[in-house]
Amino acid sequence: MAVAPWLGDLVAQIDARLRAVFAEAAERARATSPRAHELAEAVAELTLRGGKRLRPAALFASMRAVDEDAPIERALDASVALELLQSYLLIQDDWMDDDLERRGGPSVHAVLRRQVGNERLGDSLAILAGDLAAGMAWELLAAAPFPRGRAREALKAFGEMHWEVVLGQQLDLVGHADVGLTHRLKTGSYTVRGPMQLGALLGDATAAQLDALQHFADPLGVAFQVRDDLLGSFGRRGDVGKPIGADLRAGKRTALIAEAQSLLSEADGALLDRVLGNASAPDEDVERATDALLRSGVRERLEARIDALASEANAALASASLSEQGRTMLGELVELLVHRDR
């Protein structure tokens, strides 16, 4: 889909603010210790390398829905805080999964391992780089220009995001059976609901507006997760279905797999069970299981669910007292979050 003009502007301004924040961090690093810049640079490099800035988009649309004259400037520090929280989580996530790549470059622990020539030390330094990012995120949020009396609510919302995402990561690591809950904790509050709450507070929202935005955010957050699952399993929307054999062999029990199991014939269900998490499953079985998944109709079912959730989100806006400009942006946000290609 084409990117809305407001979003292009926002991303450019966020990136400019990120660069300013990292220039200031470099200054501060120099004043702190002769090695501090190494950690600060690792965080900067990862954060500036990419990222779709979806969370800032949710925050900004929400702020404008409440106060259509709020200047973009007001949204920047809280947006940067969200991006830094994200960097902190990615750094830890990559280390925990030992993923050596992220956003088309080396992950932070991979960079630091190479830099110091020692795996264990590099890993410890990566954890510290994450700590630095988290601390900076909290600092920025604490200093962001919330209207009088709203900063405390914003910090509370940020704490809730931090808490949930850490516990979602725990469930993911221990391979908890309730994949829906894992996904909800990992992405729910800190991708959609949390950023929208921060945006609404920046706009000095009434209780009714906060409530309406939450009723918008909750189904949208779930739709975002379902899209994530579909993209993880089948690739881009235009694709006929990229081979998902590797995922099956790795045994990642996604929400999609759980859903598919209820749709499969007994024989196909048994086949899927044999392949799932079985690194030495014969190629032929993996291909047949992939085929069964595609034929099961799970993809169409999840696409339909996404549409229903998106309608539910849009309906929550209908009765709310929000600006026209904001409504339009929120509608575009729905498209952005649930009809994305990556």
Q: Mark the segment that binds its own copies (CB under 8 A) among 133-141, 210-218, 282-290, 330-338.
A: 133-141
Q: Strand ranges (DSSP E) for 98-237? A: 101-102, 105-106
CB nearer its own copies, residue 31 or residue 279: 31
State the minimum distance, in angstroms, from the CB of residue 93 to its own copies. Answer: 10
Token readout for 253 is 């029990």
Considering only CA atoms, which of 332, 79, 316, 55 is closest in space to residue 210? 316
CA distance 237 to 228: 11
Q: Does 128 bind its own copies (CB under 8 A)?
A: yes
- By DSSP bridging, strand 101-102 and strand 105-106 are antiparallel
State the minimum distance, in angstroms, from the CB of residue 342 to its own copies. Answer: 27
State the minimum distance, in angstroms, from the CB of residue 171 to its own copies. Answer: 6
Q: Does 117 bind its own copies (CB under 8 A)?
A: no
CB nearer its own copies, residue 92 or residue 107: 92
Task: Choose, by CB under 8 A, the member of 11, 36, 48, 294 that binds its own copies.
Answer: 36
Considering only CA atoms, which of 246, 331, 245, 322 is closest in space to residue 65? 322
Residue 305 and residue 325 in contact, taking contact as beta carbons nearer than 8 Å: no
CB nearer its own copies, residue 29 or residue 298: 29
State the minimum distance, in angstroms, from the CB of residue 125 to its own copies. Answer: 7
State the minimum distance, in angstroms, from the CB of residue 209 to its own copies. Answer: 23
Residue 33 and residue 170 in contact, taking contact as beta carbons nearer than 8 Å: no
CB nearer its own copies, residue 38 or residue 303: 38
Task: Choose, by CB under 8 A, the member of 86, 87, 92, 290 that binds its own copies.
Answer: 92
CA distance 86 to 63: 20
Site string for its own copies, 153-192 (x = CB under 8 A): --xx-xx--xxx-xxxxxx-xx-x-x--x---x-------
Q: Does 45 bind its own copies (CB under 8 A)?
A: no
Displacement of CA 116 from its chain's centroid (Å): 30
Q: Does 26 bind its own copies (CB under 8 A)?
A: no
CB nearer its own copies, residue 174 or residue 279: 174
Q: Which helix (H) or strand (E) segment is 66 a member of?
A: helix 54-66
Considering only CA atoms, which of 138, 1, 134, 153 is closest in space to residue 77? 138
Task: Choose, by CB under 8 A, the member of 1, 2, 35, 284 that binds its own copies.
Answer: 35
Say which residues have a Cβ less than 8 Å from residue 224's Cβ, sequence separation at least 6: 187, 191, 192, 337, 338
Neighbouring CB atoms inside 10 A of 186's CB total 23
Binding positions for its own copies, rule: CB under 8 A = 28-29, 32-36, 38-39, 92, 95-96, 116, 121, 124-125, 127-128, 131-132, 134-136, 138-139, 142-143, 151-152, 155-156, 158-159, 162-164, 166-171, 173-174, 176, 178, 181, 185
